[in-house]
Amino acid sequence: MSKDEKGITAEKDEFSEWFTQIMLKADLADYTKVSGCIVFKPTAWAIWEKIRDLVDIRMKKMGVQNVSFPLFIPESLLVKEEEHVEGFTPEVAWVTHTGKTKLAERLAVRPTSEAIMYDSFSNWIRSWRDLPLKYNQWANVVRWEFKHPVPFLRTREFHFNEGHTVYATEAEAEAEKDQVLGMYKDICDNYLAMPSLIGKKTEKEKFAGAVYSCSLEHYMPNGKAIQGAAFHSDGQNFAKAYEIKFVNQKEKSEYAWQNTWAISTRTLGIVFALHSDDKGLIMPPKVAPNKVVIVPIIFADTKDKVLGKASSIKQKLEKYGTILDDREEYKPGFKFNEWEMKGIPIRIELGPKDLEKNSVMIARRDTGEKKSVKIDQVEEEVEKLLEEIQINLFNKAKKLLDEAQVNVTDLAELKKAIKDKKIAIAPLCKETRCEEDLKFKTGGAKVLNIPDEQPAKTKCVMCGEDSDYVARVGKSY
């Protein structure tokens, strides 16, 4: 493969093409013969496992336990909650046969697990003593969307955590909201360097079956917002549909209060899209499985000496998953490009001239800066640089997000903001009519979410009547 073939030949604003090239050339994923389903290759999957571990440790502190429910949902269970079934059945993959036998009842491949879980919950929950019940599963789900699939960002099979909690009171269920959203925000901010806007979804955009939904919305360099992790307050909707009742301390039977919440492999796509550049992927150091690569500059006469030193540096940097690229069939320049493409945060170059000065060259992936560092200071310098890169990636993304937001007061300003690929902060009323009108008049923008903190009410930019809230509006992936 020539150097040119390895580089990204698309500009970042030709987003789809650029993103696809990143994915393939940085070896993050590949297409398969199953339309809309990808292979998650080792680097991408390692970052997902890191996200899983970060969520797991925080969840367990909240008293949540992992379980595993069946992949299949009998059709008769799926259809019990009316909004839920309407939202999901158009995208369900149906198993109709096993071996040569036709099934008496079709089985849905789970698009989400409320229906199968809550049927069990209704058997398990009898008394206030059984509550709260806090379960989570890490699962693959299938939603056969008919829109154009994009690796990570819109795949027909994806992976997520699905937290499903049941409480005796509305107040307890409500208290979980900030805990869950805070957990996701912490991981997105501090590990994925991926700032977010938290808020409530509109009636139109909420999860099918929920009372209300909250989301983390992210902003990508192509000027599109994208929904990340989410929290859904189910109220007693599912409890009523699936008969989840308990006897309270006053011996009375009541419906339980439920929440569901999730972060998915779509998040990987957002991380990759957000931080990368025309040289390829940039991985936030805290989640990169390999944070450092050492490229020795090899000449026949100094080979042993250089490789010996390179290998002792590798040992010192073991905890960073350091790679020593000692392949002799490739030139250093080729290797530099390859590891830049793959997004390794730090590259250490080491040749005979460096050795003479008892130093190495260290290059940052994010800024491209290079500096000479004494060998006995390499560990300290790497540690410092990894922190700097992590912070720099977050700050850059935060600046992008901050600058993307503009306040608008009328439709003309809203339309201009959307045309400029901004997130408009717009006063709106809660009429679905206005939301649909907004989508039409802006050429496809939608309400992303509604921030908690609200200014004084004013007039809806669509209908001119009293506004109910200011909302974030933008084109969304």
Per-residue x/- marks for a second copy, 193-232, CB under 8 A?
Answer: ----------------------------------------
Residues 6+ apart with CB under 8 A from 382: 291, 292, 317, 320, 346, 348, 362
Region near a second copy per CB under 8 A, out of 112-120, 204-212, 238-246, 250-258: 112-120
Minimum distance, C-beta of residue 172 to a second copy, in the bound complex (Å) = 19
> Does the footprint of a second copy cover residue 63 (CB under 8 A)?
no
> Does the footprint of a second copy cover residue 135 (CB under 8 A)?
yes
> Does the footprint of a second copy cover residue 57 (CB under 8 A)?
no
Counting residues that bind a second copy (by CB under 8 A) gives 54
Q: Which is nearer to a second copy, 152 or 394 (CB)?
A: 152
Q: Which is nearer to a second copy, 79 or 406 (CB)?
A: 79
Q: Where are the beta strands (DSSP E) in 365-468?
A: 370-374, 405-407, 423-428, 446-449
Contact 207/221 with Cβ under 8 angstroms? no
Q: Which of 10, 24, 71, 406 binds a second copy (CB under 8 A)?
A: 71
> Which two three-digit tokens encode residue 209?
């079956």
> Does the footprint of a second copy cover residue 125 (CB under 8 A)?
no
CA distance 435 to 403: 24
**Alpha carbon separation from 287 to 64, 176, 222, 366, 389 (Å, rounded):** 23, 26, 23, 15, 12
Q: Which of 77, 187, 281, 378 binds a second copy (CB under 8 A)?
A: 77
Region near a second copy per CB under 8 A, out of 63-71, 207-215, 378-386, 457-465: 63-71
Q: Which of 2, 4, 5, 123 binds a second copy (CB under 8 A)?
A: 123
> Does the footprint of a second copy cover residue 2 (CB under 8 A)?
no
Region near a second copy per CB under 8 A, out of 93-101, 332-340, 348-356, 465-473: 93-101
CA distance 186 to 166: 24
Minimum distance, C-beta of residue 388 to a second copy, in the bound complex (Å) = 28
Q: Which of 13, 16, 67, 420 binds a second copy (CB under 8 A)?
A: 67
Helices (H), 252-331: 266-275, 303-316
Q: Taking Cα atoms as reference points, which of 90, 89, 87 lies closest to residue 73? A: 89
Stretch 4-33 residues interacting with a second copy (CB under 8 A): 30, 32-33
CA distance 313 to 306: 11
Stretch 30-49 residues interacting with a second copy (CB under 8 A): 30, 32-34, 37-42, 45-46, 48-49
Minimum distance, C-beta of residue 262 to a second copy, in the bound complex (Å) = 17
Q: Which residue's structure tokens are 């790679």? A: 323
- Say whether 460 sits in a helix, a strand or coil: coil
Q: Which of 92, 183, 450, 462 binds a second copy (CB under 8 A)?
A: 92
- Say whether 325 sits in a helix, a strand or coil: coil
Region near a second copy per CB under 8 A, out of 121-129, 201-209, 445-453, 458-466: 121-129
> Which two three-digit tokens encode residue 111?
């698009």
Q: Which is nearer to a second copy, 9 or 66 (CB)?
A: 66
First to last CA, the chain: 33
Residues 6+ apart with CB under 8 A from 41: 27, 28, 29, 30
Minimum distance, C-beta of residue 255 to a second copy, in the bound complex (Å) = 21
CA distance 298 to 436: 63
- Say whether 63 sits in a helix, a strand or coil: coil
- Say whether 388 sits in a helix, a strand or coil: helix
Q: Which of 157, 203, 205, 388 binds a second copy (CB under 8 A)?
A: 157
> Does the footprint of a second copy cover residue 70 (CB under 8 A)?
yes
> Which two three-digit tokens encode residue 88?
């999901």
> Does the footprint of a second copy cover residue 120 (CB under 8 A)?
yes
Q: Which is nearer to a second copy, 49 or 403 (CB)?
A: 49
Around 181, how many Cα atoms within 13 Å sit in the side-chain half-sphere? 22
Q: Which is nearer to a second copy, 107 or 317 (CB)?
A: 107
Q: Which of 65, 312, 315, 407 binds a second copy (CB under 8 A)?
A: 65
Residues 6+ apart with CB under 8 A from 89: 78, 79, 108
Task: Name the site residues for a second copy (rule: CB under 8 A).
Answer: 30, 32-34, 37-42, 45-46, 48-49, 65-74, 76-77, 89-100, 107, 109, 116, 119-120, 123-124, 129, 135, 140, 142, 144, 146, 157, 159, 329
